[in-house]
Structure 1
């Protein structure tokens, strides 16, 4: 965050590991160190809005009050997948063509629920924000909270998947009657469309063909922008932060992501290990706590209460030992990746003070 050459931070990892909180904490800390920051979240639970004291977030960056110092500022936004897709269509098609596309039933389904669309639109929005930052000087740092998908790799794969869909053989087949004269409507093509009519239904196929014909002029732009944003992610001004919790599945996913980032030559800053267990004291080990708890079970007065506390301490010591083993395994597999542990808080983060505390623990 202190390096002004770093202009994009991408927080990634599997779902439920604290990506949103980490993204917000990094963005707030950078803003309070004097940077002009925009944080983009793709979180349907809207926890980022709550943690920043905002009643709502939408597809437009909005200022966060009481955030920023030394000339810094913080804007926050939540990706609206369909609205972003609509904006792309409106920006790159004529008004008539855009209206035709936006009202097409197949487009409505594609822009709202197609697998990978959310991740692709996150890339589109990042490209838009970066253009605003470079051309307008509005921000000098963009923090991206990646989508909570089943696999952390989906964010990197989505642009290629959507581009392949829009530029694939099936689409080109459907485009044949729109691009060429009637003589290209061969018997073979008629047999194919007849079979598709039976499988999909005539109306669905008509909707798809109408959409493809209208969308044809935008295909190249989608692929070009996807490639440009992908190159931006590989640039030295970008830093990837992999976020995980000290659990076996989350760290396994983090390993996959680190390996993929390495393969794609993307700049990896390190691993944030969230919600690390810290025992209340290191003066009593697990065995001593369990032994003392057994002796106190039959005691009068506060004996049972103290015994319960000792057992809770023993549980925390065991959890810490298990988490340490998992951390050593990750470090052994990826010794060059810095690891930043963030101790678990007593409760959820729901305000700026909580985000500041996370930011301090990230930087300490």
Structure 2
């Protein structure tokens, strides 16, 4: 399934609030912006959706395996960092100030907060505008009781990522930049003590020399270029494929040298695009072959 960020956020609100409070939150302009476009919301909602799917699998036996497909590795780190960023946001001074009146309602602290935050609120009014600040304050007050649940589920899901039965598979093309990104992500997983299953190098050039090396093919192409241009072109193409395959093998060997304990599997470039179950089965068969 494709992650629907806003729908997932709405589901969280509806499942952890009574009907009146949920309607108040869903109608709030700040919530509508937060749930659809704020930086970091997508990564946290991915955590929430993973938590929902895991709970459903445990309850109903719906799935044997849940696969989370993330963007390239630097963006995948945003997914790993989402719980910590959420906790920092919820514990931040700005949120505490906005939620303090709700938390202190009916208590002596309400007057203290009102007196102490007056100047700060005036500055925010000028910077954000009175209406935006009002929407933000209303939103924070409405979801104040949900903050603990947000944090708890994020922490629990993060712990699930490091638990037995979870495994990370890093996928990279056999290119310098892609393998550098893969190396960065592998190091980060090791630092966070996350379980790494291995690296899949996708679309490897699988050129077989068949007794004709790249140098021999180029030399033959030069000799017959004037006599048979088509055969000469095929020989040149053969040489180029062999050169590319050798270049890719060197890059992969460099990665393996830096990460000798990382299991590695290569998948050759296929003649056709992979867009159906038959293509996925072919990829699966290739992954299962011994290296």
Q: TM-score, normalised by structure 1?
A: 0.75
Indicate whether 1:207 and 2:135 are aligned: yes
Q: How far, CA to CA, are the matches of 1:208 and 1:336 in structure 2?
A: 49
2:281 alignment partner in structure 1: 356
Counting matched residue pairs gives 285
Give the drift of 1:275. Answer: 0.6
Where structure 1 has 5 or more consecutive residues not aligned to the other structure, the ranges are: 1-76
Where in structure 2 are there 5+ consecutive unaligned residues? none
The 5 A counterparts of 1:17-36 are none
Structure 1 match to 2:186: 258
Instruction: Determine whether 1:305 maps to 2:230.
Output: yes
Q: CA RMSD in A?
A: 1.6
What residue number does 1:57 align with? none
- Deviation string for 1:28-72 (max 9, x for gaps)? xxxxxxxxxxxxxxxxxxxxxxxxxxxxxxxxxxxxxxxxxxxxx
1:1-364 correspondence runs (5 A):
77-148=1-72, 150-181=74-105, 182-299=110-227, 303-364=228-289
Counterpart of 1:68?
none
Give CA-to-partner distance per residue, 1:310-336, whole Å, 9 cap, x none.
222222112111111111111111101
Q: Which has the higher strand share?
A: 1
User: Is 2:172–2:178's contact at 8 Å kept on the other side of the alignment?
Assistant: yes
Higher helix share: 2
Range 187-196 or range 82-91, more displaced: 187-196
Q: For 1:238, what is the secondary structure of its paired residue?
A: coil
CA distance in 1, matches of 2:282, 2:34: 41
Based on CA coordinates, which of the two structures has the bigger radius of gyration?
2
**In 2, Cα distance between the equivalents of 1:92 and 1:147?**
29
